[in-house]
């Protein structure tokens, strides 16, 4: 009888251990953007792009590096929508093209921008856009206030899942993209942002993200327009505060024949963004080397 009792205890302990492990794996997390009206949130953004283009045996390389401070001023926030004003408060950047001198611009130190970067200087410290999103990160409305020299980024936020998710669970968002072919006709293709919750530690969710094409793009001119959307990387999301605290993405792709049969393009891009707790952030320091995933 005693042996049977201890056997029952061992079985219960074994089952209990499995249940705890399974409970940890199956714990579900509700991911939502959360901001307060009147709040100003800042991130430091590092962006590096390198494009190597070959046409008829001649190769040209163009590189851009920038370190900037972007801010969101929250003008409305409730359970249904969040509206904010998007700005770039400061930037330090370097541009270089084959056979030309490097061009430097620091908005915090230079009273005048170098020739060719006037549009960058004009975009610093002004309202770029008023954007309204849902707590899931879907864009409801966007009103551009100023032409951004960095273009209209299609990924203002990462999409969050509608239902609570557990570690290992994935979700996705499909987007239609309109491209122009070589013959000037229009191609409509779909791309998918695929995300997966890899880890939750100390209230920070680590989400991996990859963008993949759902439709084949056979026209190299159209493919060249699409190449920079195929990002791969990760996001660290503060669950309680409802915001991205750190994210990093890269693109490394090639296109053949986008300017003719003997042409090619190699595009490499690195992007990193970190939440700033200190509102008096300064980007005037010398940029450190970036590009290594952590």
Residue 80 within any structural domain of the chain: yes
What are the angstrom distances between the C-alpha of 276 and each of 43, 86, 212? 5, 15, 31
Residue 25 within any structural domain of the chain: no
On the CB side of 190, how many CA atoms lie within 13 Å of its CA?
8
> Which two three-digit tokens encode residue 226?
């699409």
Residue 187 within any structural domain of the chain: yes
Q: What is the pLDDT of residue 66?
A: 95
- Taking the C-alpha atoms of residue 169 and residue 195, their distance in angstroms, rounded to an integer, is 9
Residue 106 within any structural domain of the chain: yes
pTM: 0.83
What are the angstrom distances between the C-alpha of 279 and each of 54, 128, 252? 44, 19, 33
DSSP class of residue 116?
A: T
- Which residues are within 8 A (CB) of 45 and not within 5 positions of it... i.e. 6 or more apart? 66, 67, 68, 69, 70, 271, 272, 273
Residue 19 within any structural domain of the chain: no
Please count the structural domains in the chain. Answer: 1
- Taking the C-alpha atoms of residue 88 and residue 85, their distance in angstroms, rounded to an integer, is 10
Element (H, E) at 175: strand 170-180
- The alpha-carbon radius of gyration of the chain (Å, integer) is 23
- Taking the C-alpha atoms of residue 5 and residue 236, their distance in angstroms, rounded to an integer, is 48
Q: What is the pLDDT of residue 147?
A: 75
- Taking the C-alpha atoms of residue 79 and residue 90, their distance in angstroms, rounded to an integer, is 31
Domain assignment of residue 153, given as a range: 30-276
List per-residue pLDDT tens for the chain, 294 residues long.
Answer: 455 554 444 444 444 554 444 554 679 999 999 999 999 999 999 999 999 999 988 999 999 999 999 999 999 999 999 999 999 999 999 999 998 999 999 999 999 999 989 999 999 999 999 999 999 999 999 999 877 665 555 468 999 999 999 999 999 999 898 888 878 888 888 999 999 999 999 999 999 999 988 988 888 888 888 888 889 999 999 999 999 999 999 999 999 888 888 899 999 999 999 999 864 444 443 333 334 434
Residue 72 within any structural domain of the chain: yes
Task: Assess contact for 230 and 255: CB atoms under 8 A.
Answer: no
Residue 21 within any structural domain of the chain: no
Q: Would you mind telling me the total number of residues written for the chain in this entry?
A: 294
Residue 68 within any structural domain of the chain: yes
Q: What is the pLDDT of residue 290?
A: 39
Q: What is the pLDDT of residue 289?
A: 39
- Taking the C-alpha atoms of residue 102 and residue 9, their distance in angstroms, rounded to an integer, is 74
**Burial class of residue 101, CB neighbours in 10 A (0-12, 13-18, 19+):** exposed
The CATH number covering residue 161 comes to: 2.30.230
Task: Assess contact for 167 and 199: CB atoms under 8 A.
Answer: yes
């Amino acid at each position: 009888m005693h042996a049977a009792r201890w056997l029952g205890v061992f079985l219960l302990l074994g089952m209990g251990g499995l249940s705890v492990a399974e409970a940890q794996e199956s714990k579900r997390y509700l991911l939502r953007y959360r901001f307060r009206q009147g709040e100003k949130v800042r991130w430091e953004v590092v962006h590096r792009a390198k494009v190597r283009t070959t046409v008829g045996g001649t190769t040209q390389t163009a590189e851009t590096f920038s370190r900037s401070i972007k801010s969101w001023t929250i003008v409305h926030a409730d359970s249904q929508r969040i509206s904010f004003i998007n700005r770039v408060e400061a930037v330090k950047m370097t541009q270089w093209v084959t056979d030309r001198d490097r061009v430097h611009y620091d908005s915090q130190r230079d009273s005048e921008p170098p020739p060719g970067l006037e549009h960058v200087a004009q975009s610093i410290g002004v309202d770029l856009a008023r954007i309204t999103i849902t707590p899931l990160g879907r864009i409801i409305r966007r009103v551009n206030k100023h032409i951004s020299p960095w273009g209209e980024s299609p990924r203002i936020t990462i999409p969050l899942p509608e239902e609570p998710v557990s570690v290992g669970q994935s979700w996705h968002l499909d987007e239609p993209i309109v491209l122009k072919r070589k013959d000037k006709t229009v191609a409509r293709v779909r791309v998918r942002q695929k995300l997966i919750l890899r880890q939750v530690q100390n209230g920070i969710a680590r989400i991996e993200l990859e963008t993949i094409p759902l439709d084949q793009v056979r026209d190299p001119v159209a493919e060249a327009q699409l190449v920079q959307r195929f990002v791969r990387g990760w996001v660290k999301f503060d669950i309680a505060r409802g915001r991205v605290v750190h994210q990093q993405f890269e693109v490394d792709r090639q296109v053949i024949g986008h300017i003719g049969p003997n042409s090619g393009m190699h595009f490499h891009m690195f992007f990193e963004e970190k939440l700033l707790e200190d509102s008096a952030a300064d980007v005037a320091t010398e940029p450190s080397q970036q590009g290594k995933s952590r």
